[in-house]
Amino acid sequence: MGMRLEIKKFLGVDSDQRLNIAILKRKLFARSDRVKCVDFHPTEPWFLASLYNGDVYIWNYETQVLVKTFEVTDVPVRAAKFIARKNWLIAGSDDMQIRVFNYNTHEKVTTFEAHPDYIRCIAIHPTQPFVLTGSDDMTVKLWDWEKGWKCIQIFEGHTHYVMNINFNPKDSNTFASACLDRTIKVWSLGSTVANFTLEGHEKGVNWVDYYHGGEKPYLVSAADDKLVKIWDYQNKTCVQTLEGHTQNAAFACFHPELPIIISGSEDGTVKIWHSNTYRLENTLNYGLERAWTVAYQKGNNNVAFGYDEGAVCVKLGREEPAVSMDNSGKIIWAKHNEIQTANIKAGFDDNIKDGDRLPLPVKDLGSCEVYPQTLQHSPNGRFVVVCGDGEYIIYTALAWRNKGFGNGLEFVWALDSNEYAVRESTTKIKLYKNFKERANALKLNFTAEGIFGGTLLGVKSSTFLNLYDWETTTVVRRIDVIPKSVYWSDIGDLVTIACEDTFYVLRFNRQSYVEFLESGGEVGEEGVEQAFEFVTEIPESIKTGTWVGDCFIYTNTVNRLNYLVGAQTFTISHFDTNMYLLGYIPKDNRIYLADKDVNVYSYALSLNVIEYQTAILRNDLETAEQLLPSIPNEQRNRIARFLESQDLKELALEVSTDIEHKFDLAVQLNKLDVAVEIAREVDTDSKWKTVGDSALNAWKFSLAEECLKKAKDMSGLLLLYTASGNSKGIKELAETSVASGKNNIAFSCYLQLGQVEDCIEILLKTDRIPEAAMFARTYAPSQVSRLVKLWRESLEKQNKKKAAEALADPADYENLFPDFKHAIIAEELMKKTRNSVVPATAYLDYKDGLDQDIIAEVKEKYPDGVLPSNLASPIQNRLVSNIARKNVNGELDDDVLSSVASVDDDRISVADNMSLLSMEGE
């Protein structure tokens, strides 16, 4: 049966429950045949499901795509695991066979009979090439794949089916087995006899798993008596029994990261229990009938379940670490119940680069009686509060001594480290000063869903946020938003209110609030309107944030590190994974962040940069000028980009140290002298071309010519020379174009110069013989016969004899080419004029001659098509002169005794144009 995907989100634990695994996000819901085993790949986003129908599926739980299918056998596959270090998948089935596949190539690595009965379970040794298998033959066998899958040990002692086996994560030389003989046995590799047996279940035991933390030598088991039991395997006693399932308990395990026990049953439910208090935290039912199997992933919160009708993958809780850093750079975090610390000073290096991981030496600070869900330093850094399990404990930061404790769902500090508030329930918030409860508790007429510390005490409901004065507990202002978090600046005048998909920055005016009270104003439910001033709204979702002066630094949900000055946001870096802001240390001029495993990274951000940007936004240019010398060179480009965004490009040009940026700014500001200097320094074609185009726009033709030459921009030079009538430039460009193979440019140049013979040679050179012949018919009829001959020869080489024979040479078939002889005369006459040019100032004298019909005039003068033998005769000279300069009535006049005037060589005659075929690269 194929699997059907249903991707949904499941909102789980209520916010008032003590264990904050608040959100269960369903990552994959896949229907299938009965799932007997699931397992996660340690590095890829995959989990496998072995099915009762004999197949094994591998799913990508991030993309919800079935990525691989293995048709293993026709009988149930009750156990399957990844062996990631070998790229293998191992499966055990009811045909008593163990099969191993390469999951990348689908190649079967090996298959062998492992037991004489059904194979129920498989465990992979974390470091050695060992595999354990358990079977209905009542034995557990140890296999070594480096010895050709040889069975190197058999563990006997159970008297019924062996249902489950698991290695001890704290001592991989030992493992535990669960059996339908109602017992749990603990074994050591190398000994065939069990170390000890745990008895207590009244029916068969289906599952056994170890506790992963170092502080408890615990096992958990699930059995057909519907019970889940927790065992101390050192004292060999049952320490707790969990009741709640109404049918056989199929599995139970300790989560490796969260303080929870997960159990599943044939009643179709999965229950989540607190592993410290053993309180039932949540019950899940996905409607897939009986639950059979479970898998978890170390290093994250993913859990997979297998049912009668499919598999489900969920993500429990949040991955944000319980970590805090004080203003001096001391970091404290929780690893399970253990508290660890490190100091930024110990790993700081002046040469450290942005984004590099800091090599911090880690020290154990102590442990915590509750499972820490949040850690938070007091504003002065002397204390650290730990929240979890519905309690809070205040410790001294240095010695980790208990300073205070109590019940509470949330804890927040005021700006004064001697004041704090605790939310005990949705209706009760207690205030403390000097670690003593205050008499004037906060009175609420709404349900409190969260509290926030800082300059004012924030309490949120389902529809609004109330901000209270710590001393008087009166409402300062009600704000109609639903915040996720609230961040106050150090001096308490700015506040960021972060909502689901946007955040707001407000300015708190305490003086206006006090004046309102002193004037006898009545404070209602809405508070005092003039107490807050709107600054800006940014449509981003904040993950973590902190204020540094008037600058707000934050990470967002798309993994960017940004900062906000005024109403402008700037990106410092992008991340590939989730990062959490620890804080900013001014003396280091660096921002510090941690990932979910508390690996610490840093990024430079000069405090002077922030102050400079603030001054610019306030239009305080004098202060900005004073701050500029103190800004490090490596930060100057960031400042220059900021100035450009504020349309202060002149100032940005002065500040920038980036050649590319300076060049762009110089071009935008039309400071071509600066742009030229940069172009000379860099000396790239693109730079020269950009300056050349800008020079043309600025009518600086000499500079444009220099730049276009440097850029080797022949098209630009052709435009410049033809527009300005620079015949000398066109001649040079023609020669350069021929040398560099730019045939189209060369052709255009020669055509502008009237050097049609060179045009023909370019066409021949590029194997455009037919085009050369057609061109010659119009511009150089004397060459047509030669070109027709070449054309015929070309066709004959291509075995196109009929086409070659069809070509007519005007010399042989004069009747087919009217006026051909007169065209030759016109060509000879035009040769006399093409080097004679006319200045632009004489345009009005010559404009009527642009439509001159030279052939008609030659026919009229030489009707027989024969030129006089004396080409230097006065008559000839006058004819040539008249062709060069047409008189107003458009007729050739033998009495005009003028010759072609000599004019400036830098002016050229107008020449006919022609549609060109591409000749480049021939």
Residue 123 falls within a domain, yes or no? yes
Q: Which two tokens stand for residue 578?
A: 């989730």
114 lies in some domain: yes
881 phi/psi in degrees, rounded to 5: -65, -40
pLDDT digits over 455-497, tens only?
A: 999 999 999 999 999 999 999 999 999 999 999 998 899 999 9
Residue 186 has which token pair?
A: 């603990």
- Summarize pLDDT for 293-305 with one digit per residue, the tens: 999 988 888 999 9
Binning pLDDT at 50, 70 and 90, where does residue 202 land?
A: very high
pLDDT confidence band for 255 (50 / 70 / 90):
very high
15 in a structural domain:
yes
539 bridge partner residues: none
Segment 424-462, tens digit of pLDDT: 988 899 999 999 999 887 888 899 999 999 999 999 999
Can you give the pLDDT at residue 832?
74
* 221-225, 264-268, 504-508, 774-778: range with lowest mean pLDDT: 774-778
Separation between Cα atoms, residue 673 and residue 679, nearest integer Å: 10
3-state secondary structure 375-440: EEECCCCCEEEEEECCEEEEEECCCCCEEEEEECCEEEEECCCCEEEEECCCCCEEEEECCEECCC
Is there a domain that residue 270 lies in? yes
Q: What is the C-alpha to C-alpha distance for residues 410 and 438, in angstroms, rounded to an integer?
A: 17
Tell me, yes or no, whether 859 lies in a domain: yes
3 state DSSP class of 793: helix
Q: Number of structural domains, the chain?
A: 2
Q: Sheet containing 218-223: which strands, arranged edge to edge? A: 205-210, 218-223, 228-232, 237-242
Where a domain ends, among 295, 316, 337? Answer: 316
Among 316, 349, 364, where does a domain finish?
316
What is the pLDDT confidence band of residue 921, given thresholds at 50, 70 and 90? Answer: very low
Strand partners, 363: 341
Q: How many Å apart are CA 616 and CA 427, to the nearest integer?
A: 47
Q: Please identify, among 259, 294, 316, the residue that sits at the C-terminal boundary of a domain.
A: 316
For residue 419, the model assigns a pLDDT of 94
Residue 146 lies in a domain: yes
Residue at 403 is within a domain:
no
Q: Average per-residue pLDDT in the chain?
A: 86
Burial 603-620 (b: 16+ CB within 10 A, else e): bbbbbbbbbbbbbbbeee
Residue 870 confidence (pLDDT): 54
Provide the residue range defining the domain that includes 884.
Answer: 838-903
Assess if residue 665 is contained within a domain. Answer: no
pLDDT, tens digit (0-9, with 9 covering 90-100), for 517-574:
888 888 888 999 999 999 999 999 999 999 998 899 999 999 999 999 888 888 999 9
740: tokens are: 């560099």
Per-residue pLDDT tens digits for 233-247: 999 999 999 999 999
Q: Residue 151's domain is classified under what CATH number?
A: 2.130.10.10
Does residue 309 register a pLDDT over 90?
yes
Specify which of 219-228, 403-412, 634-643 reaches the highest per-range mean pLDDT. Answer: 219-228
Identity of the residue numbered 602? S
